[in-house]
Every structure is written in C-alpha cells, then in structure tokens.
Chains A and B, each alone.
Chain A
Amino acid sequence: MRLRDNSLLRGKNLALIIFLAISIFALSYNPVRTALSQVLYIVAPSIWKTRAVALESRDTFLTNFKIKRSLVYENTILREEVARMQVQVLDRNLLSEKVLKLEDALGRAGSDNRVSAEVLSSPRWSPYDILEIDAGTDHGIALGDLVVYANAGVIGAIAEVYPSSAKVKLYSSPGEESIVFIGTKSIPASAHGRGMGNFEAKLPKGSPVEKGDTVIFPKGNLILGVVGLIEEEPALPFVNVFFRTPFNIADIHEVEVIIKK
C-alpha cells in the first residue's frame, strides 16, 4: 500500500515537473504565448466588462448609504473643480489652436489618427504594469503604437495585440528605460520605470530642474510626467529626479491609441 502511495506521488511530481517545463517554454516562446493568450482573450474581455458593471453597481449601492451632508459637500467641491477645469480647457484650446497654426506655417502639421479604447483591466488587478484595452487589430491597432491618456499624457505602448483587445506595456514598468526631456530647458535624461506611473532619472548636479517641472516624451512631444521630488546627496555628482504621471494610472478608464497612418 505504502509502495503504491509512493509511486503515485512520484507520478504526480513527474506530471507537475513536465507541466512546469511546458509552461515555461510556452510563456517564453512568443508565438506559443501569443496563440494561447489569443484563445484566452476570446472570453476575457466580456468577463472584464461584467466586472466593470459589478463594480459600478457596488459603488452606486454604497453611495446610497453616504450621509447627505457629505454628498452635498462633495458636490460643491466637484462643481468648483469642474469650473476650474473648464477655464483651463479654454486656455488649452487657445494654445492648441496657436500650436496648430505655427505647425502649419512651418509645414509640419502634426495631426494623428487616434482610436479611443476602454480600459478592461488596470495594474491594480495584476502583478504586471499592464493595461488591457478593448481595441485591437480590427480597429487598426498594431504593435508598438503609442497609448495616451486625456489627449496629452503618454502612458505606454502596445505590447500584444489581438483582434478586439490589446495589452499596453506602461513606460513606468520596472526595468523600462525611456529617453525624456526634463524641465523648461529640456534636459535630456534616461527615465527608469518604478511601477504604477512612477519614474526615476539621474541628472548632473546643478541642472536647472524644479519640483513641478514637466517631463516630455520626445516621440510625439507628449507629457510623460511631472517632477515630484529631487533628491541630492553631497557626495554624489548627480541628483535623483523622481517624477510621476499627472494622473493615477490605476484610475484610468479610457485611453487613446495613436495608430500609424
């Protein structure tokens, strides 16, 4: 009996090792991984959409229990915020018109094709800094296309694409390196991703960079982040600049993909 148990356990262990080896091969070899993901992505987007509906229903349900006074207070604050943002948008529209006129005059009219997509899953749900969106090859999206939020903030690029969905690799993923321009003087630097919309870059000591400076992604002149902290150590010849996206990556619901013409 004991001998039978031992051989059964050995058989299970062997099966586990074989499955592990096959899994590692399937995950490391891109064509196999893409094919398997494609199968999974036939059902995944519709399941994630039901999750979004469930979360919305939960929020609506919880709102019913909020105290009336706090809701009124929140409403007042939100109204003020909307008014402030409307003015900012007006200002932005004026600037945008000026830029377009200038680009036209210089013969560099920069219009691009954009596809709007809903976010199915954000980094909050996975151990990876990845966004899943509900647009794919059927909508003209291809590998490497840039993904922007709120018309101006670049967040990442398409890493995997399926017929009706795609995975977006965020530039803030740990280990990711991007060339950026920091501050009003556009100091070039190499930004390293730190996860969830956070970045770190090293600049020579004495560089004219301040808290609140914008960080620009050269491809398409898009905003990548805003400087939040500058760390200086007397013994080191450089300063560490920490910056993050101006919005919370985990709260993004819709993005735009800049597709190639």
Chain B
Amino acid sequence: MIMKRVLFDLVLLATLFYLPWWCLFTFVAIGVYLFPFYGEAIVFGFLLDLLYGTNILYGFGIIGLVSSLGIFLIVLRIKKAIRN
C-alpha cells in the first residue's frame, strides 16, 4: 500500500509540472478517495501556489491550498458516506 501511495505521489508531482492545474485537482480527489487520510493533497496545493501564484494576486495566492483542502474534506465526506 505504501509503495502504491509513493508511486501515486510521484504521478501527482509530475502532474504539477507537466499537466494543467485541473488535472492535479482531479488526481488529488482520486488520491483522497483511494488512500487513507491522503494529507499529501494539501502539500500539492501548497506547491501549486508556490509554483504558479503570487500573493499580490486575487485569492491572495492561496487558491491551490484552499481548493485542495476543499477537495480533501468533500471527498473524505463522500468516501465516508459511500463506505457506511
């Protein structure tokens, strides 16, 4: 399981650099659904902001962080509802 998780993290890291932002959020949602307590989601949101944003922009440059937290919480809730 840990190996799979590390591999998925590497895929997400590649997505961050090679694919459009919405692909990253899609993969983050998949990760939160597949793995238990996928906290890496927040780290990737943070990296997205560092890489592409500035804090003199709209959303104070934390759109990635806030969105990944939102996805994390929503998918976690959905997961809980499905599995109960």
A residues sitting closer than 8 Å to B (CB atoms) are: 9, 12, 15-16, 19-20, 23-24, 26-28, 30, 33, 36-37, 40, 44, 47-48, 51, 54, 121, 124-130, 132, 159-160, 167, 169, 173-175
Contact = CB atoms under 8 A, between A and B. Distances in A.
Interface residues of B, number: 30
Could you tell me the dominant secondary structure of chain B's interface residues? helix
Contacts of B57: 128-130, 159, 169, 173, 175
Contacts of B55: 27-28, 30, 33
Nearest to A43: B17
Nearest to A195: B58
13 contacts: A9-B37, A12-B37, A16-B42, A20-B42, A27-B55, A28-B55, A28-B62, A37-B51, A125-B21, A126-B52, A128-B52, A129-B57, A130-B52
B65 interface: yes
B26 interface: no
Nearest to A131: B52
A44 B67 CA distance: 22
Interface of B: 17-21, 37, 39, 42-43, 46-58, 60-65, 67, 69
B45 to A, nearest CB: 8
Given A28-B55, A47-B18, 6 more contacts: A27-B49, A28-B60, A40-B47, A127-B21, A127-B63, A128-B54
Contacts of B42: 16, 19-20, 23
A169 B17 contact: no
A68 B53 CA distance: 43
